[in-house]
């Protein structure tokens, strides 16, 4: 892929890309591996797709004239997959770990509004855990940037070190507000149907075991979307430009029950999704209004 690959209205087909993800890389990644500056764009994206109502229902968003905050991530997923399976991309797709996600929404997006979506790779760094890099997604309407996202991913390499000692996890702080989250056994398959993300670790217990998990795990972006859907329903929630960040922690195995736990302040809201006992985090994050 050279320059910017541009698609008009129709995103790249997912099935061939999943097939490409199974092809082994010619060279084993190492400390000198360099991720190229690849970029792809989808022009004239319709936001009001047939699966939007199903996505909103699965995540718990209230139906209305505004798009769910996380919906552009779903629209951009075929572009993410296209870049991560490109021949120039040096890391294997299967086994990448989604570490962090930050979404900035400069204004609410109306259902039916068309978007131009651009995705690029950047911010590569080598840490004690391996190679980290960002998928950078931008959504524009009439040429104006209205939504952007940084998704940080990790390719584990145990032989890599940055010379820094391993940090001790901070003590878990519990917040005053809590809601229960239920995640059914078929959640991964249902989310794959509306998102296109059919990673085998989310689909079935048997396929997840092939990658070292005892059971299938929930998609991290479903957990974030479910948390946001519940937070938006709170009386203190404010409409307007905002930034929502999160760090993904322990996997949420399916089926399961979890807790959304949060606190509010003038500086923003802190939130976390905890296990059923409330003593271990699946994700933690912060919301600030801009």
pLDDT tens digit sequence for 150-201 = 999 999 997 655 556 666 777 899 999 999 999 999 999 999 999 999 999 9
Containing structural domain, residue 50:
4-20+34-156
CATH of the domain at 266: 3.10.129.10
Q: Are residues 60 and 204 located together in one domain of the fold?
A: no
Q: Are residues 120 and 8 located together in one domain of the fold?
A: yes
Q: In whole angstroms, what is the distance from residue 93 CA to residue 91 CA?
A: 6
pLDDT tens digit sequence for 93-110 = 988 999 999 999 999 999
Question: Do residues 79 and 117 lie in contact, with contact meaning Cβ atoms separated by under 8 Å?
Answer: yes
pLDDT tens digit sequence for 24-50 = 887 888 888 999 999 999 999 999 999
Question: Do residues 101 and 246 lie in contact, with contact meaning Cβ atoms separated by under 8 Å?
Answer: yes
Residue 255: how many other CB atoms lie within 10 Å: 14
Q: Which two tokens stand for residue 255?
A: 């089926």
Total of domains in the chain? 2
Whole-prediction pTM: 0.93
Mean pLDDT of the residues in the chain: 93
Q: Helix (H, G, I), strand (E, B), or coil: what is residue 208?
A: helix
Q: Reading across the β-sheet that carries 130-141, which strands appear in turn?
A: 4-8, 39-46, 114-127, 130-141, 144-156, 97-105, 242-248, 281-289, 268-275, 256-265, 177-183
Q: Are residues 114 and 184 located together in one domain of the fold?
A: no
């Amino acid at each position: 892929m050279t320059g910017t690959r541009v698609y008009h209205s129709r995103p790249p087909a997912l099935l061939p890309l999943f097939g490409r993800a199974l092809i082994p890389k010619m060279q084993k990644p190492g400390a000198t591996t360099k991720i190229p500056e690849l970029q792809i764009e989808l022009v004239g994206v319709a936001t009001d797709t047939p699966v939007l109502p199903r996505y909103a229902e699965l995540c718990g968003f209230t139906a209305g004239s505004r798009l769910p905050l996380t919906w552009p991530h779903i629209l951009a997923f075929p572009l993410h997959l296209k870049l991560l399976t490109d021949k120039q991309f040096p890391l294997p797709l299967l086994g990448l770990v989604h570490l962090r996600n930050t979404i900035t929404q400069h204004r609410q997006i109306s259902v039916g509004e068309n978007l131009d979506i651009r995705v690029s790779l950047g911010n590569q760094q080598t840490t004690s855990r391996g190679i980290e890099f960002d998928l950078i997604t931008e959504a524009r309407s009439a040429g104006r940037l209205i939504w952007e996202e940084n998704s940080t991913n990790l390719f584990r390499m145990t032989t890599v070190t940055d010379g820094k000692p391993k940090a001790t996890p901070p003590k878990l702080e519990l917040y005053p507000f809590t809601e229960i989250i239920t995640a059914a056994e078929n959640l991964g398959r249902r989310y794959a149907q509306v998102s296109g993300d059919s990673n085998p670790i989310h689909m079935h217990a048997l396929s997840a075991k092939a990658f070292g998990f005892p059971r299938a795990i929930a998609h991290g972006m479903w957990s974030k979307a479910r948390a946001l859907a519940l937070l938006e329903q709170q009386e203190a929630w404010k409409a307007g430009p905002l930034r929502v960040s999160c760090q993904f922690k322990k996997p949420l195995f399916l089926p399961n029950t979890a807790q959304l736990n949060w606190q509010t302040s003038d500086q923003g809201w802190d939130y976390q999704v905890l296990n059923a006992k409330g003593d271990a985090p699946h994700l933690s994050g912060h919301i600030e209004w801009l």
